Structure 1
């Protein structure tokens, strides 16, 4: 979404109905309800929905003042798209945002919540500032893709249900990919408004199969007012949409309170002169005078995203609405949307990650609750001396929705020496190796229990006496920190079997540098459950559980990358309980593939990987049936058209820390080399074309990851991420992909994080000291931010 501020900014303020005009004005009187609900809905209800949609469009940077305006509204992170077919055959949508004088000026939830450009109640908006061309118009809505939120599912539903606890059935009802997506559409033509409610996309459908035509009409600007707009088709509320809406309402009414979720918002009664006050404020805001920046002295926002601008203004305004009374929110929103140059001061920023706000002592909390807000304590707005209905009301403090992890520990100031954990457990990333160019003497006094037997792949503590082992990167880096930075940092090297919630919470933060949840899968369901519980509840992993989970389920980051235009191999996601061998093969054939590969989410070491031919699978259906049987518990198969050039070209693996490039290695598969051995090159041996394209694509991929935050909620730059980029130089058969068959196309193959292979022994420089410095500096950054939050 692009934010746009034009000469009609002052006109925005004149049409922000929910906090600019009194009810019953001419701007409101022309709302027509087209939901098909007849007398079941009072005009005031349609008016409230209309006001709300227009308010959110304005917050998102859209224009609601054109001659023809179509505004789409929905309430989930799914990527709904608004399309308008024009008389000349052109279309305005996310593909072509401008045509014939019209523009899609708000486009939300392209990447769901992960991209940051998706409010809790998103909108899209198409506007013709001047008269559109005469002829037939068609408006339809498409569900481009279902998107998961960044919150745990139970908290997502709790927020949807105003803090009431959700059952598994309710989470399925609200978050599955077999559900409809409810939406409203508001059409405005020359100031007359028509609201379409009770509509939804078909359950389980995406892309073209999900299209819902809302209306078709003829428009002729040369005709009289009554004849300019002639409707030919108007959608009415569909029964399946109403039934789904009723199920949601019933689920919400029967739900119980979920600890840690936001309390239901109470609406403060408006004062008798509230309307006059709002009109007076509207006049002040619409004037030409300059307004000074609002400066808050209130501290209800919790840890701040200082200097990061960690959310769009539209989402910020939504958060402000949750945090403060309705009338105060109206004042804040008016000023935020009115000032295109507004630079939010730190106190206006909100948390960019759902984490617990600093706890106050009971006496402080009690005093805070009794505090009566005065105008001076709420804001300083320069010459904007407009009375406000909430000036004498008690402050309404709302607790932010906290994730399980953030509730797991209180936010207290850490102490020095900083205690940091490293989750170790590698057997494929040697440092004690003849190829290592650094000085390995710092490991001379490292206890042998941290070394690994190359034969059994076991730590020496689990081997017979006399067995010789070697150190890998996961123990070499923390041991170097222990040796060089021991006065400031206490290093806790955690063996896999020592991972417990108590152990993790004993450290300020814990870096995953070896063992992770994927490893626990190979130890059985019980161990997997134990490790997952510790990871999700400790609240101090680096990277956070939210980042890990986003990468574990490959469709999440892959779909986000595809939505962002990052090249990837043609892909089909076959999810558990929604797949069958016949269905998958039919989908593969429909895409035109001849050869394909199958990979798995929540898996490692290339287990479950195979390369198959469509022809073979047709002749012998047992090939896919056996795969489905053998890997029935896998949550997701990732099926991709086989890239012929992938094995004979370099795959370039780029390492990033704090979002900055560190180094890269490139490898060729063993099947492509003369001696049948994998080849690895580093540094300036990597062809520049491969390195530069891998850096370019990797940098784009970093942007789709969830924001990393400290245990107390302050944003920090990402820890280690590795982006693997492949190369295609041959024709593809996918009907949706148009890569040049005669040239090289670089594409993102995979994203990995801290537990990946570092390839230290292959590098031409000694990277152990550099990695140690990076982790120590990150720990100091986290320490400083947590101290600030607890102050």
Structure 2
């Protein structure tokens, strides 16, 4: 998830598709939530908190709640109005007869509150975000809410964990024959000597390490020359101490493009189970974001992304049954 501007026309989901999807949620197992009758509305909780994914100034809902505005947004990017809250407000505005929207900040999230809704959509505030608050009680409650089927969270726990625990989807894609960068999977804590031994066996001149669970924005990453780590064992020893709470890591060759720059990405977006569009994001130019133009690169990335999405469909379930995801982003390095 990267804070970059994307200048392009946004796809619009037709009302009939929204209605079809909500029928599935309306039929979901509920506890103490009405499921029909005169004036019935589907209650949808929206977990918010993004402060780096803004909407164009002037397009915000005139009733955008003050509670959800990011004022003096030093840690984020883009101003007061962001996409997670805006999507919830747009849903309510487009279908006032169908939806009742419950916007929540991280502090609002409790199992009791989530159970009052027919479905809760996690647009940002997940377990990983809760961990950043350094509040064990709060993190425990958010984790319990994600795992509790009566909270009717989307993504549901099994699918959510499949996505968040990188070895899950990476190994599945590798098994399916999808090209993937060579990776050493560490899943029982970081042992510097053992990791370095495996790297040397691979004969990698440089390598890269990052945590593989509940982490984002490059947190906990380290890279360098293999020989430097051999000559100075304290580098990896200190890294292990700093990340002792982590169990899973990915170790990969540190690879650059022939021009010496990091790889760029083509991000493929799937909406309601169908490939919708792709966006080029430059690896070094923060403003280098635009819709991927037609051509061989776009076609090749789409083909790989569609193969990956088939694996997504094997993991995505709602109330134990397979479901097409509302939206997915699959990135392909170029």
For Structure 1 versus Structure 2, the TM-score category normalised by the shorter chain is: 0.7 to 0.9
The 3 A distance-change label for structure 1 pair 490 and 647 is farther
**1:422·1:512 contact (CA, 8 Å) conserved in 2?**
yes
Residue in 2 that maps onto 1:512: 122
Residue in 2 that maps onto 1:426: 50
The 3 A distance-change label for structure 1 pair 596 and 543 is same
**2:33·2:116 contact (CA, 8 Å) conserved in 1?**
no
Query: Structure 1 residue aligned with 2:109, among 474, 477, 499?
Result: 499
Residue in 2 that maps onto 1:709: 317
Partners of 1:716 and 1:663 lie apart in 2 by 21
Structure 2 unmatched runs, 5+: 1-26
Residue in 2 that maps onto 1:532: 143
Partners of 1:723 and 1:507 lie apart in 2 by 29
Residue in 2 that maps onto 1:580: 191
The 3 A distance-change label for structure 1 pair 448 and 457 is farther
Spell out, residue by residue over 1:544-599, the C-alpha distance to the aligned partner (whole angstroms, 9 max, x if none). Answer: 1111101111111111111111111110111234x410110010110111111111
Residue in 2 that maps onto 1:654: 268
Partners of 2:281 and 2:200 lie apart in 1 by 31
The 3 A distance-change label for structure 1 pair 576 and 493 is same
Q: Indicate yes or no: 2:97 matched with 1:487.
A: yes
Partners of 2:330 and 2:47 lie apart in 1 by 21
Spell out, residue by residue over 1:356-393, the C-alpha distance to the aligned partner (whole angstroms, 9 max, x if none). Answer: x99xxxxxxxxxxxxxxxxxxxxxxxxxxxxxxxxxxx
**1:658·1:719 contact (CA, 8 Å) conserved in 2?**
yes
Query: Structure 2 residue aligned with 1:566, among 160, 171, 178?
Result: 178
Spell out, residue by residue over 1:681-700, the C-alpha distance to the aligned partner (whole angstroms, 9 max, x if none). Answer: 322x5463332222111111
Q: Indicate yes or no: 2:298 matched with 1:721.
A: no
Residue in 1 that maps onto 2:35: 414
Spell out, residue by residue over 1:133-155, the C-alpha distance to the aligned partner (whole angstroms, 9 max, x if none). Answer: xxxxxxxxxxxxxxxxxxxxxxx
Residue in 1 that maps onto 2:87: 477
Q: Could you state the TM-score of these two structures normalised by the residue count of structure 2? A: 0.82
Partners of 2:195 and 2:221 lie apart in 1 by 16
The 3 A distance-change label for structure 1 pair 650 and 432 is same
Q: What does 1:341-740 align with in structure 2 at a 5 Å threshold?
A: 410=31, 414-415=35-36, 416-433=40-57, 440=59, 443-457=61-75, 470-524=80-134, 525-539=136-150, 540-577=152-189, 579-601=190-212, 602-645=214-257, 647-670=261-284, 677-683=285-291, 685-686=292-293, 688-705=295-312, 706-711=314-319, 713-727=320-334
The 3 A distance-change label for structure 1 pair 498 and 411 is closer
The 3 A distance-change label for structure 1 pair 655 and 609 is same
Partners of 1:582 and 1:611 lie apart in 2 by 16
Structure 1 unmatched runs, 5+: 1-356, 359-405, 434-438, 459-467, 671-676, 728-791
Residue in 2 that maps onto 1:763: none
Spell out, residue by residue over 1:655-683, the C-alpha distance to the aligned partner (whole angstroms, 9 max, x if none). Answer: 1122211222211222xxxxxx4243322
SS of aligned partner of 1:483: helix
The 3 A distance-change label for structure 1 pair 647 and 526 is farther
* Alpha-carbon offset, residue 722 of structure 1: 1.0
**2:73·2:79 contact (CA, 8 Å) conserved in 1?**
no
* Alpha-carbon offset, residue 625 of structure 1: 0.7
Residue in 2 that maps onto 1:84: none
**2:256·2:263 contact (CA, 8 Å) conserved in 1?**
no
SS of aligned partner of 1:490: strand
SS of aligned partner of 1:639: strand
Q: Could you state the TM-score of these two structures normalised by the residue count of structure 1? A: 0.36
**2:33·2:117 contact (CA, 8 Å) conserved in 1?**
no
Partners of 2:263 and 2:237 lie apart in 1 by 32
* Alpha-carbon offset, residue 469 of structure 1: 5.1
**1:543·1:719 contact (CA, 8 Å) conserved in 2?**
no
Spell out, residue by residue over 1:193-224, the C-alpha distance to the aligned partner (whole angstroms, 9 max, x if none). Answer: xxxxxxxxxxxxxxxxxxxxxxxxxxxxxxxx
**1:593·1:614 contact (CA, 8 Å) conserved in 2?**
yes
**1:432·1:470 contact (CA, 8 Å) conserved in 2?**
no
* Alpha-carbon offset, residue 508 of structure 1: 0.8
Moved more, 652-661 or 622-631: 652-661
SS of aligned partner of 1:666: strand
Residue in 1 that maps onto 2:18: none
Residue in 2 that maps onto 1:36: none
* Alpha-carbon offset, residue 643 of structure 1: 2.0
The 3 A distance-change label for structure 1 pair 667 and 647 is farther
Spell out, residue by residue over 1:110-130, the C-alpha distance to the aligned partner (whole angstroms, 9 max, x if none). Answer: xxxxxxxxxxxxxxxxxxxxx
Q: What does 1:58-137 align with in structure 2 at a 5 Å threshold?
A: none
**Structure number with larger C-alpha Rg:** 1
**1:446·1:479 contact (CA, 8 Å) conserved in 2?**
yes
Would you say how many aligned residue pairs link Structure 1 and Structure 2?
Answer: 298
SS of aligned partner of 1:722: strand
Residue in 1 that maps onto 2:15: none
Pairwise CA RMSD = 2.5
The structure whose RCO (Cα within 8 Å, separation 6+) is larger is 2
Partners of 1:512 and 1:720 lie apart in 2 by 12
Partners of 1:585 and 1:411 lie apart in 2 by 54
SS of aligned partner of 1:704: helix
* Alpha-carbon offset, residue 505 of structure 1: 1.1
